[in-house]
Structure 1
Amino acid sequence: MGGHDAEAHPGAPASHHDAAHSAPGAQGRHDLDQALVPAQVFSMGDADGAGNAGDGETPVHEVRLDAFSIDATTVTNAAFARFVAETGHRTESELLGYSAVFHLALRADLDDVVGQPPQTPWWLGVRGADWAHPAGPRSSLDGLAEHPVVQVSWNDALAYCEWAGRRLPTEAEWECASRGGLAGRRYPWGDEWQEGQRCNIWQGRFPAVNTLDDGWLTTAPVREFTPNGYGLWQSVGNVWEWCADWWAEDYYARSPADNPTGPATGEQRSMRGGSYLCHDSYCNRYRNSARASNTADSAAGNVGFRTVALT
């Protein structure tokens, strides 16, 4: 989902909860392994000109962050299922009755397809697609317990955080964690792609032919490939990750230096990291500095999240 390529569903307005502050503790509910990110000053933004016009990856600017812990992986289907079992939470896709599914992943009857946006025809609006049926009503989570939960909106991610005593990362925290201590580098492992697959993105001719060189058409297990220097798995590729911040293209030019939390208001929420649909011909956002956004009530088959807490 590059930039704005998931269906943006009309629906409830974004929550005004201040997602940059930790919710009360909920010991034992959230048991994902943690990566510890030390307090530091780092250079945030696109240092090598690889960014996309309009994504607001510049100017590069120094940011000072307090130490924090971040989930080593995105939140899994198994973890989200525990949250749903305890709370009875119904996701926005369930309440709306449909969500966005990539066309090659569809597991539904054709009469369950209720929309196909002309600007992004590879996305289908599918009745009965939700977190437990990520590719449509004929799909399930069988074999996907350790894959990232998808079909969750920003509001759903926030509800999970409040249950878990966690919060969503700010964009600055997310980028710092993804860099893994490598200053100014394009990817979590450095500047070069090198041989072989380093993350779960599209191979072949987007959006019709995926050669599956990395073994995955859609999501991969959260511990596939190699973690970065802080111990984060798959911060780029696999699924987009919701961040706490409101989105603004021009925010970097006015961002405070200390623990920035994004604009005070906005219309969309920020996302980071790219997804299994990223390809250089279409979306090269599987980079540390890449940015995207969507409305807080939107969900799709390639969007998930991870959580943080101050140490």
Structure 2
Amino acid sequence: MRKLLYLTGLFILYSMQSMAQANDYVQIQAGSYQLGDTASLANPKRTVYIESFWISKFELTNAEFEKFVQATSYKTLAERYHNAMVFEPGLAEFRWLQDSTAYWRFPNGVSRGGIEAKMDHPVTCISYKDVLAYCRWADCRLPSFDEWEVAARAGSEGYYFEGFSKENMSEYANVWHGRDHLKADYSDGYLYTSPVGKFKPSPWGLFDIFGNVFEFCTGKLHGDGDRYVAHARGGSWWCSKNSCSAFNTVYIGSVRPNASFSNLGFRVVKKAFTPGDKDF
């Protein structure tokens, strides 16, 4: 009897843990979805079939990445090679600075402060290779191009999910509202990243799908050829209506797999939840 009660208690505990994890994810149903756009060469209009998957409601935070670093003593590429790219107001459009002091704990360089008060912000200044290392440790993966787009569209067949527009984007996305990047823009309260979940979610319950940070995805574009190229989607805090309006469901950005930028992060996918899954 005691053994039965013990086993029952374990099952309830595992079930509660699994439910808690599922609350941080959205399940995307299997089915056929229309993706892409007729005007895009990289992402042409097409219909794809997607298996069901679970995608995180939020971009991965500094606090979550710190757990990985503490458990593994992992050193990011930016820490090893001192090659991270950061931004400060006053730079010409699409110009970034290489800062040898920048890495995920100081994503805009030591001189611009650390993340002590920003543990709930998305982790940045990490490379695609760093992200893959995290996913191996956490038993998760990145979304594919198609999975990300299905989740981002939330049932819409347009450039944005239903309810989002360039006119009301400040309600849904941390983006740059200034005319250019010569002066600091605090229009929405943040110069760089914002806490995850600070803005309104999509109809399917995903936060920051547009803006805040570009999100790494897996996949290969026709133009990649034999090159090893990483890709990211959704736009970032740097993007604006006048520069890099990549906060939409069609644009697919490209970056070197070893590169680390202060506007690049990720969210993860986990296929299913079963009793005993570890909380990462």
Once residues 166 and 308 of structure 1 are traced to their aligned partners in structure 2, the CA distance between those partners, rounded to angstroms, is: 6
Q: Does 1:57 align with 2:43?
A: yes
- C-alpha distance 268-99 of structure 1, shift in aligned 2 (>3 A): same
- 1:242-261 equivalences under 5 Å are 242-249=216-223
From 194, 199, 202, the counterpart of 2:173: 199
Once residues 232 and 127 of structure 1 are traced to their aligned partners in structure 2, the CA distance between those partners, rounded to angstroms, is: 34
SS at match of 1:62: strand
Q: Which amino acid aligns with 1:133?
A: F
Q: Which amino acid aligns with 2:201?
A: P
SS at match of 1:157: helix
- C-alpha distance 164-101 of structure 1, shift in aligned 2 (>3 A): same
- Cα displacement (A) at 1:148: 0.2
- C-alpha distance 72-191 of structure 1, shift in aligned 2 (>3 A): closer
Task: Write out the 4+ residue segments of structure 1 that deviate beyond 6 Å after TM superposition.
Answer: none
Aligned residues: 252
Contact 2:127 2:258 in 1 (8 A): yes
Once residues 282 and 119 of structure 1 are traced to their aligned partners in structure 2, the CA distance between those partners, rounded to angstroms, is: 8
From 236, 253, 265, the counterpart of 1:275: 236
Match of 1:42 in 2: 33
From 220, 223, 231, the counterpart of 2:194: 220
Match of 2:131 in 1: 157
- 1:1-311 equivalences under 5 Å are 33-46=24-37, 49=39, 56-58=42-44, 60-104=45-89, 120-121=94-95, 123-138=96-111, 139-182=113-156, 184-190=157-163, 192-195=165-168, 197=170, 198-249=172-223, 266-311=227-272
From the two aligned structures, give the one with the greater strand fraction: 1
Once residues 195 and 247 of structure 1 are traced to their aligned partners in structure 2, the CA distance between those partners, rounded to angstroms, is: 31
Once residues 114 and 211 of structure 2 are traced to their aligned partners in structure 1, the CA distance between those partners, rounded to angstroms, is: 22
Contact 1:239 1:274 in 2 (8 A): yes
Match of 1:23 in 2: none
Contact 1:242 1:272 in 2 (8 A): yes
Q: Which amino acid aligns with 2:202?
A: N
Contact 1:247 1:293 in 2 (8 A): no
Q: Deviations over 1:116-155 (max 9, x none)?
A: 9x9843x110111000111112321121111000001000
Larger-Rg structure? 2
TM-score, normalising length from structure 1?
0.75
Once residues 215 and 191 of structure 1 are traced to their aligned partners in structure 2, the CA distance between those partners, rounded to angstroms, is: 20
SS at match of 1:103: coil
TM-score, normalising length from structure 2?
0.83
- Cα displacement (A) at 1:191: 6.0
SS at match of 2:48: strand
Contact 1:240 1:274 in 2 (8 A): yes
Structure 2 unaligned residues grouped into runs of 5+: 1-16, 273-280
